[in-house]
Amino acid sequence: MLEELAAGKVTLATVWLLGVSMGLTACTVTCLPFMGTWALGRASGQREALLHTGVFLGGRVFTYTVLAALAGAAGLGLAKALGGTWGNAVIGGASILAGLWLIARPPAKACGAVSPAPTFPAPVHVHRRKADSLPPLFLGAALSLTPCMPLASLLALAANAGSAAQGAAYGLAFGLGAAMTPILVLVPLAGRMGRELRTGRAWMARWLLWSAAVVLIVLGARRVMLVF
């Protein structure tokens, strides 16, 4: 691909397709254990699951744009350093934060509580907290630092472009391509599964929440251990 850049053949569409190739393969394998566990533990409804998935992907697009801009302005070395040892530390920290968040700020209850039956059907209102979107945002930004061949190619292209603006354009195109991923469907399915499992079972809601939190913390700890 560097040869194509030298010949002036690399376009934003080419970089977008590179992102799509990652979004349909490596992105799903790498990201689903984190976001799927988050959605399952929260027993997210469709709206919340789609919101958190969108925020997660937004974090990825933003980070790819920044990394590519850095590579364009400062060369490949700095951006690669961010995606190496420090990348694993950031991913681990974000995953541990998500696990602790589940424990400290459990989702608002929409079902499971026993109360006197009303004399007429009444809708159940769930009060969503905007701050609950922060862990998916951090996970999306952190997981963008996962070393892989498509990311290495993006950074090489941006570094050879020799311009922060051109690098940012490459990063944005790549991120938008990477957002074309099956997790847009799989994460909401995980949230729906969690919601159906806990319906009418207060003990199951607690078990799902704590199990998901432990999984996220363990995943994060494993990433952090790679640093040492």
User: What pLDDT is recorded for position 116?
Assistant: 43
Q: Give me the residue label for tokens 């989702």.
A: 107
Assigned token pair, 13:
């569409």
| Domains of the chain, residue spans | 11-107+132-225
Rounded to an integer, what distance in angstroms lies between the CA atom of residue 27 and that of residue 9? Answer: 26
User: 61, 55, 35: which is closest to 187 by C-alpha?
Assistant: 35
Q: How many residues does the chain have?
A: 228
Report CA-CA distances (Å) from 98 to 31, 34, 44, 46, 214. Answer: 13, 9, 15, 19, 10
Rounded to an integer, what distance in angstroms lies between the CA atom of residue 202 and that of residue 151? Answer: 43
Helices (H), 75-201: 76-82, 85-104, 134-143, 149-161, 164-178, 183-198
> Across residues 22-47, what is the average pLDDT?
90
Rounded to an integer, what distance in angstroms lies between the CA atom of residue 107 and that of residue 110? Answer: 9
Q: Express each pLDDT in 105-152 by its tens digit.
A: 887 654 444 444 444 444 434 445 678 899 999 999 999 988 788 888
User: What pLDDT is recorded for position 106?
Assistant: 84
The pTM of the full predicted model, rounded to 2 decimals, is 0.84
DSSP 128: -
Q: Which residue has better confidence, 177 or 76?
A: 177
Query: Looking at this protein, which amino acid is placed at residue 16?
Result: W
Q: Please check whether residue 220 is in contact with residue 37, taking contact to mean a CB–CB distance below 8 angstroms.
A: no
Q: Express each pLDDT in 1-33 by its tens digit.
A: 545 544 456 789 999 999 999 999 888 899 999
CA Rg value for the chain: 20
pLDDT band at 217 (very low <50, low <70, confident <90, very high): very high
For a pLDDT cut of 90, what percent of the chain falls above it? 51
> Across residues 36-40, what is the average pLDDT?
94
Assigned token pair, 206:
């607690």
Q: Please check whether residue 190 is in contact with residue 48, taking contact to mean a CB–CB distance below 8 angstroms.
A: no
Q: Please check whether residue 59 is in contact with residue 161, taking contact to mean a CB–CB distance below 8 angstroms.
A: no
Rounded to an integer, what distance in angstroms lies between the CA atom of residue 81 and that of residue 75? Answer: 11
